[in-house]
Amino acid sequence: MTAPADIIEKVKYLREKITDADYRYYVLADPDIDDYSYDMMLKELDDIEKKYPAMISDDSPTQRVSGMPTRIFRTVKHKVPMLSLSNSYNFNELIEFDNRINNILSESNEKNYEYICEFKFDGLAVSLVYENGKLKTAATRGDGSEGDDVTQNIKTIRSIPLSVRHKDLKNFEIRGEVFFRKEDFIKVNEEQELKGEKIFANARNTAAGTLKLKDSRIVASRQLNFFSYYFYTDEIKIESHLHSIDLLQELKFPVNKFFKKAADIKEVKAFCDETERMRDSLPYEIDGVVVKVNSFSQQEILGTVSRSPRWAIAYKFKAKETETKIESIVCQVGRTGTITPVANLKPVLLSGSTISRATLHNFDEIKRKDIREGDFVKIEKGGDVIPKVLEVIIKKRGRNSKPYLIPSKCPVCGSSLKKPEDEVYYYCPNYYCDAQIKGRIEHFVQRNAMNIEGLGESIIDIFLNKGFLKNYSDIYALVKKKAELLRLDRFGEKSVDNIIAAIEESRNRPFDKVLFALGIRHVGERTAKILADNFGSIENIVSADEERILQVNEIGPKIAESISLFMKDKKNLELIEKLKKAGLKFESGENTIKENINITNKTFVLTGTLEKYKREEAQKIIEDFGGKVSSSVSKKTDFVLAGEEAGSKQQKAVDLGVKIISESDFEKMIKG
């Protein structure tokens, strides 16, 4: 049924009034209508849309909570990577950061720069993409390159506009932090207690978990909040971070009012000190201050290193401390056999979390601090996340206290522990120790590896006990055991179907993720990506000796030895063969490292302004050819690529006798 013109106008009017009321209530905290009037407008709009279903659109206020629960979260690739920040924990590290900024910008004759200081919220980073003025997708940060699509759940946050109207801006991306206000987090736990369900210990983790719930109605009931801090678009030129904040406010996105433009590092320190003093009085949790170079052109000059921007840093506040008692010390066995002592503590509240366990790192640490069972200790949350024992309160130690004895046997399988001479850790050498098997499976299914949702720790325990899993290759046999899985307690058809669907989807994971999932000691995500890019297939890695592996940039002796040992083990090769038969990808779509005799295995330093390339583009070309880009000139540098207004790096290259090349020289090298 086509709606008459007056109804169309009425819908337009109601949507604008409701959207404006949401902005005034949730962003400005200055409502201009009462709750009853707001509810009546929303009801009237809902009634009209039910009568004329063709008028319902994704950006209507009635669509903030609607539809069936989500079965699975699809993956969204970020157009611009969501980088993580480097951390600093004292002001000297901030001064070092400022010195680096000054040195790099001085080389480009950019001597004047300023900072923007903002709160570092203890929440979850998300990206919001708008197309034609409407919210198209919302995604979590994930691994920085891609995250989970949480659009439906983001719509429940009423401070986030579903649509915007601006004459110049239609397509753009917003980034910000999803978090709980302190009072809302308390309400969530009060409701959990009333229902007799688990009390949440940490506001940040609860916010992250809430955003991944499959039922948006539950998400809406928990009243998540949002602050924006990033704006990106191709439609207009944005000069600075301060300019982007102005645009966010103009488009009616919530922006935290506590930010400051700082002319120098002294003003940065003053803001950090003031913020730390007011921290406890804020209505939400923060764990530091984010410091950014304001100018976007200067940010581009500074570039990035690894997964962090050079132009920004997080100043983390000193961790809060408290006192509690060590009730016992137990040993955990990791997936590679590493033995980690852990203190079971008398539960205590610290920085919004209930702490009942703290890592003791290794036995040398226990000996150095003379930590014993029954001791009263001071603990802190390192970086406000990881509980850590600071010191023993000796005056409270009991008379019968005895030093902790290092165990000689694995607590799980009873094997005699080993300790390499050059390491501080003890190891269980039994590759088939139950704890290691479980740890390897948990590592294999994790998000950054095979990303098999539904195979959590408790489910893995059940499957191990039932004999369904003996190693991670058995996961792919589960798809043929649906009938057996359905006979297990608390396993309904829907949950089993979801697990099977996640297993099937994992077969599409790229080679570098599969390589990381294998759990090779010392091989993290980045190393797995480097190996995949350099070798292109598992066969090439298996056939490579230690010397060949060591030739790869960023691969050191320990990593090379670990990879070589893993690939020589017949049982590991059998597992790889089983995974191949299961359809996992053991080669890259293409070998992204292209051999170039002029660039491969050479180290470059970039300085000055290039005419044809941005620094990031030149760096990518070098890395694509198997070269390495360093930030400083040394005797190991092969070439310094110097552009206009090259600075001190060029002079250092002259002093050290390092070859200096121009942009035209570089292009000739590229052509080989």
Q: Are residues 104 and 14 in the same domain?
A: no
pLDDT at 495: 87
What one-letter code names the amino acid at 98? D
Q: Please tell me whether residues 186 and 324 are part of one structural domain.
A: no
Least confident range of 144-148, 415-419, 426-430: 144-148
- Domain-located, residue 493: yes
Give the pLDDT band of residue 654 (cuts 50, 70, 90).
confident
Asked if 307 and 294 touch (Cβ cutoff 8 Å), the reply is no
* SS3 call for 428: coil
Decide if 144 is inside a domain. yes
459 and 516 share one domain: no
Token digits for 44? 């009237």
Is residue 638 over pLDDT 70? Answer: yes
Q: Which tokens in the block code for residue 218?
A: 């539950």
pTM of the model: 0.54
Count: domains in the chain: 6
* CATH at residue 356: 2.40.50.140
- Residue 598 forms part of a structural domain: no
Q: What is the dihedral of CA 474, 475, 477, 483, to 10 degrees?
A: 120
pLDDT for position 526: 80
Confidence of residue 65 (pLDDT cuts 50, 70, 90): low
* % residues pLDDT > 70 (the chain): 92
- 148 vs 75: CA distance, rounded Å: 5
Sequence-distant (6+) residues with CB within 8 A of 415 are 409, 428, 429, 430, 433
- pLDDT of 344: 95
How many whole angstroms separate alpha carbon 349 and alpha carbon 346? 10
132 and 170 Cβ atoms separated by less than 8 Å: yes
Instruction: Please state, in angstroms and rounded to a whole number, the distance separating the CA atoms of residues 404 and 407.
Output: 9
Q: Are residues 131 and 202 in the same domain?
A: yes
List all residues 6 or more positions away from 281 whose beta carbon is below 8 Å from its beta carbon.
none
pLDDT at 271 over 90: yes
Pair (209, 324) in one structural domain: no
Is 571 in a helix, a strand, or coil? Answer: helix
pLDDT band, very low/low/confident/very high, at 35 (cuts 50, 70, 90) = low
159 lies in the same domain as 303? yes
Confidence category of residue 30, pLDDT binned at 50, 70, 90: low
Regarding predicted confidence, which is higher, 453 or 474? 474
Under 8 Å between Cβ of 329 and 343? yes
CB 414 within 8 A of CB 406: no
Domain presence at residue 653: yes
Domain around 333: 319-430
Residues 79-106: what's their mean pLDDT?
A: 90
Higher pLDDT, residue 135 or 200:
135
The 10 Å CB-count burial string (b at 16+, else e) for 564-584 is bebbeeeebeebbebbeebeb
The reply to whether 492 and 455 lie within a common domain is: yes
User: Is there a single domain that holds both residue 345 and residue 311?
Assistant: no
Structure tokens at 152: 């439906």
- pLDDT for the residue 618: 84
- pLDDT category at 213 given cuts 50, 70, 90 is confident
Quick check: 514 and 541 in contact, CB under 8 A?
no
Domain match, 275 and 338 both: no
| CA distance readout (Å), 438 to 344, 504, 514, 580 | 22, 21, 18, 21
Q: Give me the pLDDT at residue 539, please.
A: 94
Q: Are residue 99 and residue 54 in the same domain, yes or no?
A: no
Please say which residue of 506, 534, 556 terminates a domain. Answer: 506
Q: Is residue 118 part of a domain?
A: yes
Average pLDDT over residues 416-445: 89
Give, in order, the Cα–Cα distances in Å from 342 to each of 1, 118, 460.
67, 36, 22
Least confident of 14-18, 106-110, 257-261: 14-18
Q: What is the CATH number of the domain that holds 565?
A: 1.10.150.20
Lowest mean pLDDT among 375-389, 415-429, 457-471: 375-389
Mean of per-residue pLDDT scores for the chain: 87
> pLDDT at position 196, please?
66
Residues whose CB falls within 8 Å of the CB of residue 122, separated by 6 or more in sequence, listed in order: 179, 203, 204, 284, 285, 286, 287, 352, 384
The rounded distance, in Å, linking the Cα atoms of 283 and 288 is 15
Question: Considering the domain boundaries, does residue 372 fall inside one?
Answer: yes
Which residues 6+ apart lie within 8 Å of 285 measured at CB?
121, 122, 123, 179, 180, 182, 203, 204, 351, 352
Q: What CATH number does residue 627 fall under?
A: 3.40.50.10190
**Alpha-carbon distance 334 to 427, whole Å?**
9
Phi, psi of 76 (to 5 degrees): -120, 130
Q: Which pair of structure tokens corresponds to residue 558?
A: 């320990």
The enclosing domain of 27 has a CATH number of 1.10.287.610
Q: What is the arithmetic mean of pLDDT over 164-184?
A: 92
Residue 329 lies in a domain: yes
Mean pLDDT throughout 332-358? 87
- Taking the C-alpha atoms of residue 634 and residue 139, their distance in angstroms, rounded to an integer, is 42
Active site residues: 120
Q: Look at phi and psi of residue 352 and say left if phi exceeds 0, alpha if psi is from -120 to 50, else beta.
A: left
Q: Do 561 and 625 fall into the same domain?
A: no
- Measured from the Cβ of residue 410, the count of other Cβ atoms closer than 10 Å reads 24
For 145, the token pair is 């390159």
- Give the pLDDT score at 395: 94
Confidence tier at 490 by pLDDT (50, 70, 90):
confident
Amino acid making up residue 328: S
Estimate to the nearest angstrom the gap between the alpha carbon of 487 and the chain centroid: 37
Question: In this predicted model, what pLDDT tens digit does every residue of 101-152 receive, in sequence order?
Answer: 999 999 888 889 999 999 999 889 999 999 999 999 999 988 788 888 999 9
31 pLDDT more than 70: no
**Helices and strands per DSSP (H, E), number in the chain:** 24, 22
Measured distance between the N- and C-terminal CA atoms of the chain, rounded to whole angstroms:
67
pLDDT of residue 248: 95
Biggest CA-to-CA distance, the chain: 87
CA dihedral 660, 663, 665, 666 (to 10 degrees): 90
DSSP 27: I
- pLDDT of res. 58: 72
Query: Are residues 656 and 522 part of one domain?
Result: no
Q: Which of 454, 473, 506 is the last residue of a domain?
A: 506
CB 155 within 8 A of CB 135: yes
Bridge partner residues of 163 (DSSP): 134
Give pLDDT, residue 471. Answer: 92
DSSP 24: I
The neighbour count for residue 13, using CB atoms within 10 Å, is 12
CATH of the domain at 137: 3.30.470.30
Structure tokens given for 373: 């069972």
From CA 307, how far away is CA 83, in angstroms rounded? 5
Give dist(CA 237, CA 325) in Å, integer: 57
Residue 68 pLDDT level (bands cut at 50, 70, 90) = very low
Select the more confidently predicted residue: 424 or 268: 268
CA atoms of 286 and 283, how far apart (whole Å): 10
Q: Which residue has the higher pLDDT, 473 or 601?
A: 473
- Of 506, 536, 554, at which residue does a domain stop? 506
For residue 73, tell me if it sits in a domain: no
Nearest to 410 by CA among 402, 401, 418: 418
Amino acid at 274: E
Give the pLDDT score at 542. 94
What's the rounded Cα separation, in Å, for the pair 285 and 204? 9
Helix (H, G, I), strand (E, B) or coil at 338: strand
